[in-house]
Every structure is written in C-alpha cells, then in structure tokens.
A and B are shown apart, each in its own frame.
Chain A
Amino acid sequence: MKQIKYILLAFCFLSLWGCQPEEFGPIGAEENILKELQGTWTLSKVTQKDEDAATKGFPYKELDVTNVYPYKELVIALLGDAAGAPTTFTITPGNAPKISDFNTGTWAVDNAKAPTVITIKNGTMTSELTLGSYAELKIGKFFLKKVKKANGKAIVSYTYQFTKK
C-alpha cells in the first residue's frame, strides 16, 4: 500500500516535470514586419499631443498640424539588406519642418519579430521613435511617435503617419 503512495507521488512529480510552455505560432502566415517597413514612405499626417494635458484630463489634448507647413513633402526611405535586416535610412524633407536632428544614418529595431521602438542613429546622435500599430502596414501605412520629456515625464508628442510611395 505504501508503495502505491510513493508511485503516485513519483507520477505526480513526473507529470509536473513534463510541463513545458507551449509556443503558439502566429495565426495565419507569419508576417515579416521589418520587410514590410522597408521602402520609401511619404509623411501623410502629423498630430501633436499635449501629453501633460492628457494626463491631467484637460481639454485641448491633440491637434492635427499636417497643413500648417508642407509636412507632406517629407519622404523617408528605410533600407534593409538581403536578409531583411535594417541598414540605412534617408529623410528628404523638402520644405517640411524637420522631424529629426539628422537626415541620414542607420536604423535599428528593438525586436526583429515584433518591433516597438525604432532607433535612428548618425554618429553619436541617436533618436528613439515608437512604432505604432502594424495593423495598417498591409495597406501601406505606419505610424511613428516621438515623445519629448521633462524630468522623465512625457510633455509633448508627435505622431507621424507615413504612407507607402
């Protein structure tokens, strides 16, 4: 009888030992976000947000500033290598206000499968941009968000919507 108890206990331990997280693959075909990001994009919409006002629940949180200046003249080219890894980028601003302190350099992402942050770099200068939803990548649209902070608190942000050329 005692033996049965030990056997049952060992069986329980073995069952627990055998537990492993199961990896679920993507539903449908796996998307290559990085590949889809590469190409030439035109700036189609610029939204300015008062993050501080939004935090405090004040009115006047967002403003569409696309047509204040010729933002739509700005074009960004995101290039990649044969394997699809990010390499260089070029911003051709036209008469649009600058959206970055530098117009050429390299770009990288935080996570190749599911990127959320794009870091653009030129020499020692770097700038981090948050990547918006991928939902519209398929229809040739993506969003980049630039946040300006003071004492670690978001104060102002810009959301740039790009449309594939």
Chain B
Amino acid sequence: MKKLILSIILSFSVAFVFGQTNPTFNPKTFTAEDEVIMTFDVTGTPMAGQSDVYLWMFSNDGVGGGKDALTNGQWGSSSESAKMTRVSGNIFTFKFTGTTLFGQSPAELINFGFLGKSKDGTKQTADFKPFKFDPLVFTPSQFRVFPAKMDNTDMTTVYFHQDLATDQNLQRMFDVKVTITFYSDAATPAVVATRTALVATKESATLYSYSFIPEKLITIPAGTKLGKFSYQFTGSVKDANGANVPTSGPVNEVTYTVFN
C-alpha cells in the first residue's frame, strides 16, 4: 500500500516537474523584431549543476527555411555570444531578437528551437521546440482562424480557403464539414469534448467557415478550463466511378491566449 501511495506521489511530482513551462519568455508573445528574455531551467537535464550553459539555436523547425543561430559557433567550441547568464542554481537567461539572432527577415521567421550544451558539446539537453514568433507579415494559407488570437470565451471562426489548398483531394473536396476538439489547460492537456461533422458555411465558391463559442458548442465540466482546440475540415471527393469517398485535411491546433 505504502509503495503504491509513494509511486502515485512520485508520478504526480514527475508530472508536475515536466508540466512546468520551461523555458519562459518575457514578453510572453513576441515578434521576430522584439527583444526577448528567455529563462531556462536546466534541472533534470544532463546540464543540471553546470555553471556554464551555451545555447545551440535553430529557426523554422519542421516548416522549411531553417537556419542555425549566428551566435552558435562550432559544436565543439560554442561562441561566447551563445553563453547564457546564470541567475541562480540551474536557472539561466538569454536575451535575443529573432531577426538579429538568425539573420533572417520577419517574413522568413516562423518559429525557433534550441538546446542547452556545454561549450565543448560533450553535454547537452534535449531539443526544446518549436516556439512561434508572432507574425509581422500576413501570409495567406489554406487554413486560418479569426481572430488570430482569442481566449476560451471568444467567438472563433475557422476558415478553409480551398483556392489555396495544395493537396488535390482538398482542392476537389465538397460537402465540407468541420471536426473540433477542445482540450483542457492542464499540464498534460486532456480532451474535453469533440464535435464532429459540423456543417461549414460556404461563404463563396472556394471559402468555407465555421463560427463558434466553446460554451455554446460543448458542455464544459465545472472546474475545467479550456487551454486549446484543434480543427479539421473534412468532406468528400468523387472516385473514378463517381462514388463519394470521404477525405479530410490536416488537424490544426490553436492555443488560447490568456488576456489580462
């Protein structure tokens, strides 16, 4: 019994430690042209207990057009400009501006990631990524939300611009519907509710939308706060015999902003 209680406490502690937001940014949201102070806690990583932590940073993880930070230096000998400032114990800070750090324009910078390492590269943390830059330049895309930032009480409209679709099935998709899944704001987000086959409004020949307010669409259990939602446009395409075949677009995730 004791063992069971101990393991439950341990699992909760581990979940708590890993659930902490690390790193943190000041300001919380920033564009590629804003100066940001990143605070990074290396507790529980191979860099724990080290007095010097160097950053190895990279841009646009998983979206193409990525570059290493100009401050990185060589893996075996990090540049001094990549050195973090030790605040106390395992807590380090680093000040940067995206455009200067990566030598890329605001339009090019979508996200960034990093790892902490020793100067000689013999020790390192896992990758921490991706952290999005607030866009300064509008980039049309097949899926978008309005407004771009909202909290869990706001009216939200998800859009599918079929004329911008790159996938052939999405270009041909008709009878368009939306599936929306809401997640809690817990450290490990849990699914709160999913609504499927919500009929999208055909605003024009190539534009579909669906508007909703979470509490009007689902029942939010008492004590649960929504942290994010995902949406996916689904529909049908005709096969070679003219029969309807179900098809769907990718799942897009949107994190709720906390207004103050």
Contact = CB atoms under 8 A, between A and B. Distances in A.
Interface in A144-165: 148-151, 155-156
Given A69-B213, A150-B29, A48 B257 contact: no
Contacts of A63: 146, 157
Interface stretch (A53-61, A112-120, A128-136): A53-61
A36 interface: no
Contact of B260 (A48, A50, A53, A151): A151
Interface in B24-49: 27-29
Contacts of A150: 28-29, 149, 257-260
Nearest to A65: B155
A154 B228 CA distance: 21
Contacts of B146: 48, 50, 60, 63
Q: Which applies to chain A's interface (DSSP): helix, strand, loop or mixed?
A: mixed
A52 B155 contact: no
Interface residues on A, range: 20 to 34
Given A69-B216, A150-B259, A52 B211 contact: no
Interface in B200-214: 211-213
Contact of B149 (A49, A65, A155): A155
A97 interface: yes
Nearest to A155: B149
Nearest to A56: B136
A56 B157 CA distance: 20
Contacts of B212: 68
B260 A65 contact: no
B119 to A, nearest CB: 35
Contacts of A65: 155, 157, 211
Interface string A13-57: 000000000000000000000000000000000001110110010
Nearest to A152: B260
Contact of A58 (B138, B154, B216, B260): B138
B254 interface: no
A13 B87 CA distance: 64
Contacts of B138: 53, 56, 58-59
B29 A48 contact: no
Nearest to A53: B148
Given A59-B138, A69-B213, A97-B155, A50 B257 contact: no
Nearest to A50: B147
Contacts of B215: 97
A65 B216 CA distance: 14
Interface in A61-116: 63, 65, 68-69, 97
Nearest to B201: A68
B67 interface: no
B123 to A, nearest CB: 35
Contacts of B149: 50, 52, 150, 155-156
Given A150-B257, A151-B27, A156 B147 contact: yes
A62 B212 CA distance: 16
B68 interface: no
Nearest to A151: B27
A62 B74 CA distance: 48
B155 A60 contact: no
A53 B154 CA distance: 16
Interface of A: 48-50, 52-53, 56, 58-60, 63, 65, 68-69, 97, 148-151, 155-156
6 contacts: A49-B147, A63-B146, A63-B157, A150-B28, A156-B147, A156-B259
